[in-house]
């Protein structure tokens, strides 16, 4: 019965858009990964990344936002966006399309200009936009484009489309979403012009209409044009679904063959453009459905649709014609193939953390994925059979221990994993107990299944000891025992009403009605919200100027919104210097204040490494490795990647 309900026939039915035939309804949408060279040329790493998603079964693979104008080319360090503003880029892009095609998928490319949504390092060349209104995210004053400059940009988009066609792409995707240049013209929130390109809805549409018309003239009548836009900008004064339903037929009549629906803008802190944990799956389906009813054209919908049953339902009910699965394909390039063949339990699930994919584009860190360390480094991270099989014992079944066990076993080693608790996952399991972080659970289920299927001997409820190692005589021991809560030398820290955040989540401690959380990083903020959900009156004290400064932008924005809505009190730039019987003394701006009337103090001040086992076994085993928090406290991202690297080195 369950197997019957798991059929996803509509999702894997073909569809044709103009001259482009697609083998199924799964689209990899454009996502900024910044893996081209600084000059905009494609790299081998970029080709490997997109080809892996094509080989995994997606029908249409869309290359990330690609610069149509040299003045708007985005560079971070020695990497940048792909560029298409000159014919010299065609040769490299042809290498990319050939590789995607050889893997069985069609290729499209997103044509893009950031407009005001960029940071200009040269004061003489400020960002450009429809109006001199700063982007709330980048906070630089743009210069309003002249009518002549608008005409030049129209031609830049058209020439970019011509180059895309010549490079072998099967379609172009015009970026009219998320608060970039075309979206800025389309929105009353950012377009305050009173000439032909603003003033009313028709004026705001003139620029995208001209772009679509110019592209159609360049590429001919049969070449597919996809237009991506935010059906609901989700900001005050921005476009609503009702307005999008009005403009959708105009976009189609102007040359768009397919409308790709997202929501949100950069103004919303990436919360809706790249929806993190805490937002519902399929959050854009109804907006796409409204647009679909208004046009006689194909519609793509994006937004946390990596649940196969939901993706199938979207197609079966006619709410959209195709589903865009982005981060789900970063986490598991073989998602389509696994869904099609019924291997759902083998899907490595995206947890919508946005830490390594989205945040990398903002911080300049290398693009990758928390749950998939191979993402962005497919060639170098291939798992190869070890030259000699080893007997490996791993202490700790958290993220680092599980990943190292998985990879080491795939390489041919015989692995036994010891975990002192009755479940795998470590602190990542405790994090999954928070109601709005339940998307961690499918990943933990996947990892547990992989270890079982691979034949890893998992010893739950049993801590690894030196005597066990001595008796087993393994070739290598991996210490992935994690960390323990940091207990700094604060007077009163051993008071009976002091507990740790981990104790609360593990069910080892309870709190009174009035709670003070010492530490306002991610863990402290989440435990504060968790306790508020249970009716506690909570105050946070954080020594840094900002709460949750260690969290990625989108999830952080949502977290702070929830905290403000719940009226959790907080003090920033305040350091706890003493714990009293019913409160704390804090130091803030050189002054000391007391906070009293507190029943329980919850410590969320970080963790310290728990690695004593390493010293115990170094005299027994010639090869001992310490990874994850046991080596250096960090995030799950750091732990999983450390496990992945070690597994390849064993």
Q: Average of pLDDT values for 119-143? A: 88
Q: Which CATH number fits domain 391-484+609-649: 3.30.479.10, 3.40.50.720, 3.90.320.10, 3.40.50.300?
A: 3.40.50.720
Q: Average of pLDDT values for 239-268? A: 96
Among 380, 385, 381, residue whose Cα is nearest residue 408: 385
Ordered by start, the domain boundaries in the chain are: 2-363, 391-484+609-649, 498-605
At 419 the three-state DSSP class reads strand
Q: Average of pLDDT values for 22-31? A: 98
Q: Given a cut of 80, is residue 163 above it in pLDDT?
A: yes
| pLDDT score, position 2 | 55
Q: What's the predicted TM-score (pTM) here?
A: 0.95
**The tokens 């944990």 sit on which residue?**
277
| Lookup: tokens for 62 | 């869309």
The band of 1, judged by pLDDT with boundaries at 50, 70 and 90, is very low
Ramachandran assignment for 246, one of left (phi > 0), alpha (psi -120 to 50 degrees), beta (any other): alpha
Q: Given a cut of 90, is residue 136 above it in pLDDT?
A: no
Q: Given a cut of 70, is residue 483 above it in pLDDT?
A: yes
Contact 168, 98 (CB under 8 A): yes
Among 325, 324, 322, 382, residue whose Cα is nearest residue 349: 325
Contact 535, 620 (CB under 8 A): no
Neighbours of 483 (CB within 10 A): 23
Bigger pLDDT: 138 vs 148: 148
Give per-residue pLDDT as tens, 196-211.
999 999 999 999 999 9
Q: Given a cut of 80, is residue 641 above it in pLDDT?
A: yes
| Lookup: tokens for 302 | 């994006």
DSSP 73: -
Q: Average of pLDDT values for 639-647? A: 98
* 522 burial via Cβ count (<10 Å: 0-12, 13-18, 19+): buried
Q: Average of pLDDT values for 592-610? A: 95
Task: Answer yes or no: 49 catalytic.
Answer: no
Task: Kindly state the percentage of the chain with pLDDT values over 70.
Answer: 99
Bigger pLDDT: 267 vs 338: 338
Q: Given a cut of 80, is residue 364 above it in pLDDT?
A: no
| pLDDT score, position 490 | 95
Q: Given a cut of 90, is residue 78 above it in pLDDT?
A: no
| pLDDT score, position 95 | 98
Q: Rounded to 5 degrees, what are φ and ψ at 385? A: -65, 135
CATH top-level class of 498-605: alpha beta
Q: CB-based contacts of 60: which residues, under 8 Å, 6+ apart? A: 20, 22, 26, 27, 28, 105, 106, 107, 108, 170, 171, 322
| pLDDT score, position 480 | 98
Interatomic CA distance for residues 635 and 370, integer angstroms: 9
Superfamily of segment(s) 2-363? Aldolase class I (3.20.20.70)
Strand residues in 26-159 grouped as ranges (E):
26-28, 36-37, 60-67, 75-76, 79-80, 106-112, 128-129, 143-144
Quickly list H helices, 534-617.
553-566, 612-617
| pLDDT score, position 3 | 59
Angle at 176 between CA 171 and CA 179, to 5 degrees: 145
The band of 89, judged by pLDDT with boundaries at 50, 70 and 90, is very high
Task: Kindly state the percentage of the chain with pLDDT values over 90.
Answer: 90
Q: Choose, from 50, 112, 180, 446, the residue flagged as catalytic.
A: 180
Q: Average of pLDDT values for 207-232? A: 98
The pairing of strands 79-80 and 60-67 is unpaired
The band of 620, judged by pLDDT with boundaries at 50, 70 and 90, is very high
Interatomic CA distance for residues 637 and 266, integer angstroms: 25
């Amino acid at each position: 019965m369950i197997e019957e309900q798991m059929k996803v026939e509509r999702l894997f039915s073909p569809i044709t858009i103009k001259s482009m035939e697609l083998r199924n309804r799964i689209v990899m949408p454009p996502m900024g990964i910044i893996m081209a060279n600084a000059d905009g040329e494609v790299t081998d790493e970029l080709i490997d990344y997109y080809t892996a998603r094509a080989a995994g079964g997606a029908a249409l693979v869309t290359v990330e936002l690609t610069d149509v104008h040299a003045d708007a080319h985005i560079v971070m360090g020695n990497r940048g966006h792909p560029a298409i503003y000159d014919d010299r880029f065609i040769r490299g892009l042809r290498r990319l399309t050939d590789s995607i095609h050889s893997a069985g998928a069609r290729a499209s490319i997103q044509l893009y200009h950031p407009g005001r949504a960029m940071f200009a390092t040269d004061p003489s060349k400020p960002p450009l936009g429809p109006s001199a209104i700063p982007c709330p995210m980048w906070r630089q004053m743009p210069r309003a484009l002249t009518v002549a400059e608008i005409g030049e940009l129209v031609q830049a988009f058209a020439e970019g489309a011509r180059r895309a066609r010549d490079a072998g792409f099967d379609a172009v995707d015009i970026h009219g979403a998320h608060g970039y240049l075309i979206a800025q013209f389309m929105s009353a929130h950012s377009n305050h012009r009173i000439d032909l390109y603003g003033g009313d809805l028709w004026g705001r549409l003139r620029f995208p209409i001209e772009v679509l018309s110019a592209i159609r003239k360049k590429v001919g009548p049969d070449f597919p044009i996809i237009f991506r836009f935010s059906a609901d900008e989700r900001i005050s004064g921005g476009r609503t679904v009702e307005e999008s339903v009005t403009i959708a037929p105009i976009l189609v009549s102007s040359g768009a063959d397919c409308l790709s629906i997202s929501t949100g803008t950069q103004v919303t802190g990436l919360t809706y453009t790249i929806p993190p944990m805490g937002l519902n799956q399929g959050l854009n389906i109804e907006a796409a459905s409204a647009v679909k009813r208004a046009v006689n054209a194909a519609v793509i919908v994006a937004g946390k649709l990596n649940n196969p049953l939901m993706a199938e339902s979207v197609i079966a009910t006619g709410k959209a014609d195709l589903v865009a699965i982005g981060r789900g394909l970063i986490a598991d390039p073989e998602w389509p193939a696994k869904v099609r063949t019924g291997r759902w339990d083998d899907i490595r699930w995206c947890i919508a953390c946005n830490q390594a994919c989205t945040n990398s584009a903002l911080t300049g860190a290398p693009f990758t994925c928390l749950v998939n360390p191979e993402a962005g480094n497919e060639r170098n991270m291939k798992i190869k059979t070890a030259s000699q099989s080893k007997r490996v014992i791993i202490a700790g079944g958290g993220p680092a221990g599980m990943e190292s066990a998985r990879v080491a076993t795939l390489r041919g080693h015989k692995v036994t994993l010891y975990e002192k608790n009755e479940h795998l996952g470590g602190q990542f399991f405790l994090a999954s107990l928070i109601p709005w972080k339940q998307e961690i659970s499918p990943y933990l289920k996947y990892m547990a299944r992989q270890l079982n299927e691979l034949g890893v001997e998992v010893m739950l409820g049993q801590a690894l000891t030196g005597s066990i190692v001595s008796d087993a005589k393994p070739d290598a021991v991996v210490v992935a025992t994690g960390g323990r809560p940091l207990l700094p030398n604060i007077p009163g820290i051993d008071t009976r009403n002091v507990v740790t955040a981990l104790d609360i989540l593990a069910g080892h401690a309870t709190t009174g009605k009035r709670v003070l959380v010492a530490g306002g990083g991610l863990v402290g903020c989440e435990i504060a919200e968790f306790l508020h959900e249970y009716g506690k009156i909570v105050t946070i004290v954080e020594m840094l100027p900002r709460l949750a400064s260690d969290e990625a932008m989108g999830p952080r924005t949502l977290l702070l919104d929830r905290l403000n809505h719940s009226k959790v009190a907080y003090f920033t730039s305040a350091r706890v210097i003493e714990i009293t019987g019913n409160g704390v003394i804090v130091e803030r701006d050189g002054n000391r204040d007391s906070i009293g009337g507190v029943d329980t103090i919850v410590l969320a001040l970080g963790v310290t490494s728990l690695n004593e086992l390493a010293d115990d076994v170094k005299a027994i085993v010639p090869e001992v490795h310490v990874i994850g928090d046991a080596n250096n406290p960090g995030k799950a991202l750091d732990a999983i990647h450390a496990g992945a690297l070690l597994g390849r080195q064993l």
